[in-house]
Amino acid sequence: MNMQGLLALLISAAMSCGAMADTTSVPADVDAALIGSATQTMEVEDAAAAPDTADSAGTADTSDAADTQSAGDALDAADTSDVLDTAGAADASDAADTSDALDTAGAADAPDTAAAVAAPSATGLDEAATGVSEARGYSRLFTDNPVPDVAQRCLGSVVGVINLVSSFDFDSREVTDEEYGYGSGVVIDNEGHIVTNAHVVQGADKLRILLDDDTELDAELVGLDSDTDLAVLYVEGLELEPVEIGDSSALRVGDLLIAIGNPGGYYGTVSVGVVSALERDIETFARPMDIIQTDAAMSPGISGGALLNADGELVGIPTLGVMLYEGLNFAIPSNTMREVVDELITYGKVRKPGMGIYYQVQDGPDEPLRSCLPAGLLVVEVGLDTPAEAAGMRVGDVIYEINGTRIKSARELTLATQDCEAGDVISVRVYRHSYQERPVDENFIDMDVTLEYIE
């Protein structure tokens, strides 16, 4: 073959290759179908992230199938003809449609499943919460708060008590009444009786009560008992709703308490606390009582007010707060108050069976010495026609024991005789000092004393 023939053959071959390349090129519409298929595949894979594991797996598998089918169809189209390309595009479109359908189904299932997981039964949660709260005893306090209702019902039954002292003004030549102290009081019946603390009214020349509308009314002292720090006032024509008196022995540690009074002169102040302890023995009181301890705020001025339970019943009279320790406050139980108030209203005082003597606390050694009296109660006066006089007690005797119990203070004397009734006989040992030269043990004298109510 000559050079010209070879050159013609090469040119012919090149032209044939160019025509084949044009024939096998992928049309623009096929490229668009393949791109759409890939996009749908990505959407399916994104949907696979939904919480429904089964739907996710199914979607992923279908997406893979769509990918494989579309890619296979595209390759077949590239290797064959435009007819096959069109078929491949249709298959890819079908796969995309299938992918869309699965994507939609998976997406529909996923939120339902997620909602089921994320939102448990509200009823079940409520029941569980209620069970826990009732078990802890807080359900009433936090779901049915009784404090507002109790306050609204009882605020009008608590009054202010003003202690007035009269003084003579030399400039004006007039007698003026000055406020010496103030406290609180609580209405206990429809007859005009008000209970307060004895220390609120002691030393007063005049007494007044303050109502919620700033009205002041004159009050009369019916009687007081320093041993229990209780007093009763009377106001004529008083038309205030009395509180209901509850049973303080039914209180339990942790019970809700509501205190109402006038601390600092701020009328109708309400504070809330719990029963911190019961049956506290506070030596401040001459008479031993089962004092209520509470953390309900009791600032000066609330003394004599109302301490109420969750039902709005009076269960205590606020009386004492330890300023050094926050939340350490005390109240006289309502059961004790009821006994004392009945005595004060009936007799003007609390009748106590006694021996008919006046005494003072004698400090000294526990046992007598020749030159020193023992610790005890030194008799400074013996009343005429009294049980002590009948038993032979004298001024200068030191009460040493009662019924075998050592006595060194007035409180111990009260403890030894608090359960006694008029007519009961007690055994009293006194120490009577003698200047005679004899053993000190011989100076003890035993005597029986029959207790009586002393006027």
Q: What is the CATH number of the domain that holds 177?
A: 2.40.10.10
Using the 3D structure, point to which of 202, 234, 266 is the last residue of a domain.
234
What is the reported pLDDT for 251?
92
Residues 286 and 364 in one domain: no
What is the reported pLDDT for 143?
67
Residues 323 and 376 in one domain: no
What is the reported pLDDT for 63?
42
What is the reported pLDDT for 306?
94
What is the reported pLDDT for 333?
94
Residues 336 and 418 in one domain: no
Domain count, the chain: 4
Residues 341 and 361 in one domain: no
Q: Environment class of residue 444 by beta-carbon count within 10 Å: exposed (0-12), middle (13-18) or buried (19+)?
A: middle
Using the 3D structure, point to which of 56, 90, 117 is the last residue of a domain.
117
Boundaries of domain holding 190: 154-234
What is the C-alpha to C-alpha distance for residues 338 and 7, in angstroms, rounded to an integer? 136
pLDDT tens-digit readout, 28-42: 443 443 344 444 444
Report yes or no on 89 lying in a domain.
yes
Report yes or no on 18 lying in a domain.
no
Residues 357 and 445 in one domain: yes
Report yes or no on 19 lying in a domain.
no
What is the reported pLDDT for 322?
59
- In terms of Cα–Cα distance, which of 16, 28, 18 is closest to 82? 28
What is the reported pLDDT for 8?
57
Residues 113 and 172 in one domain: no
What is the reported pLDDT for 15?
54
What is the reported pLDDT for 166?
86
Catalogue the active-site residues.
Answer: 199, 229, 303
What is the reported pLDDT for 266?
86
Report yes or no on 139 lying in a domain.
no
Residues 434 and 395 in one domain: yes
Would you tell me the crossing angle of helices 53-79 and 82-118 to the nearest 10 degrees?
Answer: 170
Residues 361 and 448 in one domain: yes
What is the reported pLDDT for 19?
43
Per-residue pLDDT of the chain (455 residues; tens, 9 = 90+): 555 555 555 655 555 544 444 444 444 443 443 344 444 444 434 434 443 433 443 443 434 433 434 444 433 433 443 433 443 434 444 444 444 433 444 444 444 444 434 444 444 444 444 444 444 444 555 567 899 999 999 999 999 999 988 887 777 777 777 888 889 999 999 999 999 999 999 989 999 999 988 888 999 999 999 888 999 999 998 889 999 999 999 999 999 999 999 988 888 899 999 999 998 877 666 666 788 999 998 888 899 999 999 999 999 999 876 555 677 889 999 999 999 999 999 999 988 899 999 999 999 888 888 788 999 999 999 999 999 999 999 999 999 999 999 999 888 898 888 888 899 999 999 999 877 777 777 889 999 999 998 87
Residues 382 and 445 in one domain: yes
Report yes or no on 435 lying in a domain.
yes
What is the reported pLDDT for 1?
52
pLDDT tens-digit readout, 206-261: 999 999 888 889 999 999 998 889 999 999 988 899 999 999 999 999 999 999 99
Report yes or no on 101 lying in a domain.
yes
Residues 75 and 34 in one domain: yes
Using the 3D structure, point to which of 117, 135, 166 is the last residue of a domain.
117
What is the reported pLDDT for 11?
56
Residues 290 and 360 in one domain: no
From the CA atom positions of the chain, what is the Rg in Å?
Answer: 49
pTM flag (> 0.85): no
Report yes or no on 418 lying in a domain.
yes
Report yes or no on 134 lying in a domain.
no
What is the reported pLDDT for 119?
46
- The first and second tokens of residue 31, run together, are 């490229």
Residues 252 and 181 in one domain: no
What is the C-alpha to C-alpha distance for residues 157 and 317, in angstroms, rounded to an integer? 13
Q: Scanning the structure block, which residue is given the tokens 């990505």? A: 42
Which CATH number goes with the domain that contains 405? 2.30.42.10
What is the reported pLDDT for 407?
94
What is the C-alpha to C-alpha distance for residues 78 and 75, in angstroms, rounded to an integer? 5
What is the reported pLDDT for 341?
94
Cβ atoms of residues 131 and 99 within 8 Å: no
CA separation (Å) from 442 to 155, 302, 400, 429, 438? 63, 53, 14, 12, 7
